[in-house]
Chain A
Amino acid sequence: MTQAASAPLLSVENLSVAFGSNPVIHDLSFSAPQGRTVAIVGESGSGKSVTSLSIMRLADLAGAKFTGGRILFQGSGGDIDLLSISQDQARHIRGNQIGMIFQEPMTSLNPVFTIGDQIAEVLMLHENRSKPDALTEAERLLNLVRLPDAAGMLKRYPHQLSGGMRQRVMIAMALACRPKLLIADEPTTALDVTIQAQILSILRDLQAELGMSIIFITHDMGVVAEIADDVVVMWQGRKVEEGPVEKVFADPQHPYTQALLSAIPRLGQMTGEPFPLRTPLTVLEDGAPKLVGERRVQDTARMAEGPLIQVRDLSVRFDVKKTWLGRTTHYVPAVTNVSFDIHPGETLALVGESGSGKSTIARTIMQLNKPHSGDVMFDGRPMSQMGLAERQRLRRDIQYIFQDPFASLDPRKTVGWSVAEPIRTHGLLSGDREITRRVAELLERVGLPAAAAARYPHQFSGGQRQRICIARALASKPRLIIADEALSALDVSIQAQVINLFMDLQKDEGLAYLFVSHDMAVVEKMSHRVAVLYLGQIMELGSRAQVFENPSHPYTRRLLSAVPVPDPTRRPDRPALEGEVPSTTRKAGEEPVPVTLTELAPGHFTANT
C-alpha cells in the first residue's frame, strides 16, 4: 500500500500527439498522484482536451496519432502503458477504471434512452450485473450525486432535466464502476455559477469518499483555485508550468502563466472605484510579457442627458401550451414588470442565471420579441406608437452582438460582405468604393487588418470573429449596442482585449451598452449600473459600486458568493448552495406577482421579497 500510494496513479511521459502531419501536443509530461486533483489549464487550442482524450484512448478513434511517449496507469492488473494496449483492452479500462465527464451536459446524454438505462448500461457492461440489479445501483448513484427523487429519475429522459441535473447524471455514470481516475473536461463551463458551485462541491465530496484521483481540465482560473491540488499550464501544445496550486498562483514562472493570471477579471477588484476602469493588459510579445494600453477611468455615461432607452413596466410572455383551437392554456412569464433606463454613453449590465429573462429583455428592445404589456421608449418615443419606417430606423440605432461568434457570421460570405450588410440594408452609403473604404475603416477600428475583408469567417479565431461582429454592429453608427453574452465564448486573455475594445469604442463613439452576462466579475469591471434579475423580475438595481459593494438582496449575495475566487489561499467556505431555478410555467389567467422595489439609497433599488 505504501508503495502504491507513493507512486502516481497515472504518469504521462513525453507524450506527443498529431492529427495527420499537424502536431498538437509536444513532449508533454505530468502525473496524477493518488487521491489528488490535477488541473490542466489552457486556452482553446492548447491541447488540453486532446490530452484527456489520449488518456482515454478516444483520441486515436478520432484520427489522432501518438507520435511518442507513453501513459503509465496503475490499473487493477498492475502497471500498463495505455498507449500500447489495443482498443479492445482500452475498452475494459474506459468507463471502468477511468471515468470521464464532458463539457456539454445538454448534449452528453443520449436523448432517446432513459437515465436509468444509460447508467445501468455501464454497470451491466463492466460488472456483469443483471438489469434490475444495475438499476438499483443506478438509483444509489443518483442519490450519491444528490439528485432528488432518484427512483423517478431512472425512468426520465434527458430532455426533461436541466443542465445541472444532467451533469449530475453524467457524474453518476462516470463514477458507476468506482474508477480510480476521473477526467473532468470543462464540466462546469456551460453551467450557471450557482450550479457550478453545486457540481464542484459534489465532486470534492465524492473524491474524499471514493479516494479517486481527478484530472480537471478547465480554462477558468477561479475554478482551478477552488478545486485543484496541482496545476499544469498548457500553451500551444506544450506544458509551460507545473506545480502546487498555491505556488503557481503566488509565483507564476512562465510569462504565459503571468499573462493568463493578470487577464482574469477578479470579483472585488473594483472596490472603491466609482467608475469602470480600462486597464492595461499583459500580452506576450516574442515570449516576453509586456504591458500594453492605457489606464483610464471610464467616465463616459452622460447621466445629465435624457435617457436613451426607457423600459417601462415591461412584461413578455411565451405561450407554451395551447388548446386545439389555439387558445393559450399555459404560458411562461419570461419578464414581468421590468423598468430601467439606459443613458447615452452608459453601460447597463443585466445579470442573472439562465431563465432569468435577461436575454428576453434584450431581444424585446431589439424588436425580436413582442411585449405582452409595458413599453420601451427610445429618445422618449414609445416603440408601440412607432410606424414601420421608424421601427426600421430604430434597427439602425440599436445593434446586437450575439454570444457565439462562430454561428453569427455567414460562413459562405466574406467578412467584408457581412460588415457591409448593415450599410447596404439601411442605404447609408452608395457606391462600392465608399462602402469598401468604410468597411476597411471599421475593421481597423476593431483591431483587424483591412485585408481581412476579403477573407472568410473560418479563417479567423473566435476572438477575431467577435471583433468582426463588433465591426458589423458599428457599421450602421448605432447609439446602443446590445451585447448578449458576447464575451462568454472567449478565452480570458482574448476576453480582456475585447473588454478594452468595448470601452475604447464607448469613449470614442459615445456608445451606450446593454450588457447581458452571467459573469459577475466581467460585469463588475465594465458596467456603470447593474440590474440583477431573477425569474423575470428585477431583484436589485443600482450603480456598480452599490450592487457589488453593498449587495442588499439575498439573491444578489447568493450569486456573488457562488463566483469562484481565483485565489487558492481563500477557498470559500460557502454554505452548500442547493436547489435550482424553478420552472415558471403558469396556467392562463394566473398572473405572476410583481415584486415592489424599495429605494435604499439614491438610485439603489432592491426588491421586497
Chain B
Amino acid sequence: MAGFLLKRLLQAAFVVVVVTLIVAFAVRLTGDPALMIASGATEITEADLARIREGLGLNEPFLTQYLNTLSGLFTWDFGNSFIGGTPVARLIGSALPATLALAFCAMAVSILLSIPLGIWAAVHKGRGVDQLIRVVSLVGLSFPNFWLATMMVLLFSITLKWLPPSGMVGPASFIMPAATLGVILTATNVRLVRTSMLEVLNSQYIMVARAKGLPERTVLYKHALRNCAIPLITYMGLQFGGLLGGVVVVERVFNWPGMGSLAFDAVASRDYPVLQSVIMVLSTLIVLVNLLVDIAYGLVDPRIRTE
C-alpha cells in the first residue's frame, strides 16, 4: 500500500507541474498586461510600458516567473492583484472556503439522494418506480443550471420570501445554490448508481449473500453497494473537480463570494495574477481530489490494494 501511495503521489506532483506550466504559458499568450493596465491613460510611452513590465516582474525569464508562481502554491504568496493591489492570497483565502463549502454541500445533496434512489430503481427494474425515477432524472438532466437557479430565486426568495436571494449570509444561503448544483448532479448519479447496481445485483456473490439468509437491506447496502463503489467514486471525484471549475454560473446567479466569482471578475478586468493563481489553485485541488480517489480505490477494493 505504501508503494502504491508513493507512486500515485509522484504521479500527482508531475501532473500539477505540467498543468500549472500550461496555465502559466496560456495566460501569457493572451496579450501584454502592461498595455491592458495602461489602456486607460491618455498618453503612454514605450518607457512607461517598460516600467510597468518591470514593476510586474514581466521582464524575468518565463521559467523564473513560472517558478515564482508555482512556489506560491507552497508559500501561499501569489503576488498582488493588478487592480487595487490586494494580495492575491487574501482574495483566494476568502473565496476558496466559500466555493469548497458550496461544492461539499452540493455533493452531499447528490450522494444522499442518488444512492438510495439509484438502488431503489435498480431493485425495481422495469417497474413503475424505476420508470418514474428515470424520467424525472432525465428532466433534471435537461435543466440548464442558470435557469433552475433563477426559477428557485423567483419562487423561494421573491414570491415566498423564504430564503435569501443572494450572497453568503448564513446557513440558509446555502440551500438554493447547493440544491441547484446538487439536483443536476443527482440526475446523472441516479443513473450511474442504477446501472452499476444492476450489474452487481446479477453477480453470483449477491445470490450467495441471499442464500446465507441475509436481510435484503444488508445484501444491498453492504454486499452490493461496496462493489459499485469503484465507478461511483471515480465519477464523483471527476464531478467534484468539475464542480470546483463549473460553479462560475451558479456563483454569479447567487452572487456567491467564491472562486467562480473571483475568476469571473479577474477575466473581466484582465487581472492576470489573480486569474492565473485561481486556475493554479483549482487545478491543484482537482489533482488532489483525484489522488484521494485513487487512495479510496485501494481502501474499497482489496484487489487494487495488493496490485
Contact = CB atoms under 8 A, between A and B. Distances in A.
Interface of A: 56, 58, 61, 91-96, 99-100, 102-104, 107-114, 121-122, 125-126, 157, 159-160, 170, 173-174, 324
Nearest to A170: B208
Contacts of B300: 112
Contacts of A99: 211
B205 A107 contact: yes
B209 A110 contact: yes
Contact of A159 (B209, B211, B213, B303): B303
B215 A91 contact: yes
B212 A121 contact: yes
Nearest to A122: B212
Contact of B301 (A96, A112, A174): A112
A111 B213 contact: no
Given A111-B227, A112-B300, A126 B213 contact: yes
B8 to A, nearest CB: 13
Interface string B49-90: 000000000000000000000000000000000000000000
Given A58-B207, A159-B302, A110 B227 contact: yes
| Interface size band for B | 20 to 34
Nearest to B215: A91
Contacts of B270: none
10 contacts: A95-B211, A102-B208, A107-B203, A107-B205, A110-B208, A110-B223, A111-B227, A111-B301, A113-B226, A157-B302
Contact of A58 (B210, B227, B302, B303): B210
Contact of B208 (A96, A108, A114, A157): A108
B210 A112 contact: no
Contacts of A121: 212, 214
B212 A94 contact: yes
Interface string B207-238: 11111111100000001001100000000000
- Chain B interface main SS type: helix
A103 B211 CA distance: 14
B214 A125 contact: yes
Nearest to B7: A324
B226 A112 contact: yes
A110 B208 CA distance: 9
Interface of B: 7, 203-205, 207-215, 223, 226-227, 300-303, 306
A112 B213 CA distance: 19
Nearest to B226: A112
B223 A94 contact: no
A91 B211 CA distance: 8
B204 A122 contact: no
A93 B302 CA distance: 31
A48 to B, nearest CB: 16
A125 B223 contact: no
A242 B223 CA distance: 39
Given A110-B227, A111-B301, A159-B302, A102 B212 contact: no
A91 B208 CA distance: 12
| 5 residue pairs, one from A and one from B, having the closest CB atoms | A95-B213, A95-B212, A94-B213, A157-B302, A107-B204
Contact of B207 (A91, A102, A111, A157): A102
Given A157-B302, A159-B302, A111 B205 contact: yes
Contacts of A92: 213
B303 A56 contact: no
B213 A160 contact: no
B211 A58 contact: yes
Given A111-B302, A159-B303, A94 B211 contact: yes
A170 B212 CA distance: 11
A138 B204 CA distance: 22
Contact of B210 (A94, A107, A324): A94
B212 A173 contact: yes
A112 B302 contact: yes
B221 to A, nearest CB: 13
A121 B223 CA distance: 11
Contacts of A104: 204
A325 to B, nearest CB: 13
B204 A157 contact: no
Contacts of A108: 204-205, 208
A502 to B, nearest CB: 32
